[in-house]
Amino acid sequence: MSEPLLTTRDLTTAVGGPFELDVFAGQCLTIMGPSGVGKSLLLRALADLDPHGGEVWLQGARQSQTPPALWRRRVLYVPAAAGWWADTVSEHVAEIGKHINDLRALGLPLDCGDWPVTRLSSGEKQRLALLRAVTLTPQVLLLDEPTANLDADSGLAIEAWLAACKNRGTALVWVTHDAVQAERVADVRWGLDAHGLKRI
């Protein structure tokens, strides 16, 4: 068996842990659990966005010894509610003209590059946030309910698009409340509750 891409040991967040995880390249790992149990905090700790205990490695490189900006480009967190710091779509996705196929696959308007972000619906923004993240070619994508609040067809389109990313070698750590979705997309399923992280 190959070496894991992302490994955690004794990882603790503000509300839970220690967590021991191994994530392999091209693998989709889903995490389910009740609200407030710390799923988002676990993803944020993996991305090093919050202070935490324990250690995380990416291909043998320690998180604490890797420059934070570099780490976060490699282990990229996509929150449930994305932030938009610039006005237009093209300011968020570099060379958006080269991503016509992605725009089409995600059901986004092909000419949206010059649009103000505010013109997009909340569902379109959610899909644009995924495209913005994937264009940075992370090794691990941390997805916090990426299809929440989307209609079924859009959700399935995103699943198919993310499956293509996975097939290119990106590891996905996917938080979801949808058990059917988890069964559909996951290679490995974990459940998180007050007692900790357990493989389902």
Partner 1 sequence: MNESNPTVTYGALALASLLLLVHAGLSTAFGLKLARPLLIAAVRMFVQLSLLAVVLQWLFATESALATVLTILIMLGFASWETWRRIGRPLAGRRGVLVPGGAIAAAGLATLGYALLTQVSPQPWYAPRYSVPILGMILGSVMNAVALGIDSLTQNAWRERLNIEAQLAQGVPFTAATRRLVQRAMKTALMPTMNLMAATGLVMMPGMMTGQILTGTSPHEAIKYQMMIILLVAGATALAVFLAVVGTQRDLTDDRQRLRLDRLGAERN
123 SS3 class: helix
Residues 61-120 that bind partner 1 (CB under 8 A): 64, 68-70, 72-73, 76-79, 81-85
CB 174 within 8 A of CB 17: no
184 contributes a contact to partner 1 by CB under 8 A? no
Query: Which of residues 39, 132, 166, 189 is near partner 1 by CB under 8 A?
Result: 132
1 contributes a contact to partner 1 by CB under 8 A? no
Q: Which of 87, 80, 78, 83 is nearest to 118 (CA)?
A: 87
Ranges of beta strands (E only) in the chain are 6-12, 19-23, 28-32, 53-58, 61-62, 75-78, 140-144, 171-175, 188-193, 196-199
Task: Between 53 and 68, name the residue whose CB sits nearer to partner 1.
Answer: 68
Q: Which of 111, 91, 105 is nearest to 153 (CA)?
A: 105
48 contributes a contact to partner 1 by CB under 8 A? yes
Task: Between 51 and 60, name the residue whose CB sits nearer to partner 1.
Answer: 51
Task: Between 58 and 78, name the residue whose CB sits nearer to partner 1.
Answer: 78
Nearest approach in angstroms of CB 82 to partner 1 is 6
CB 89 within 8 A of CB 96: yes
Rounded to 10°, the helix 122-134/152-167 angle is 0
Task: Between 9 and 198, name the residue whose CB sits nearer to partner 1.
Answer: 9
47 contributes a contact to partner 1 by CB under 8 A? yes
49 contributes a contact to partner 1 by CB under 8 A? yes
Nearest approach in angstroms of CB 132 to partner 1 is 7
Residues contributing to the site for partner 1 (CB under 8 A): 47-51, 64, 68-70, 72-73, 76-79, 81-85, 129, 132-133, 136
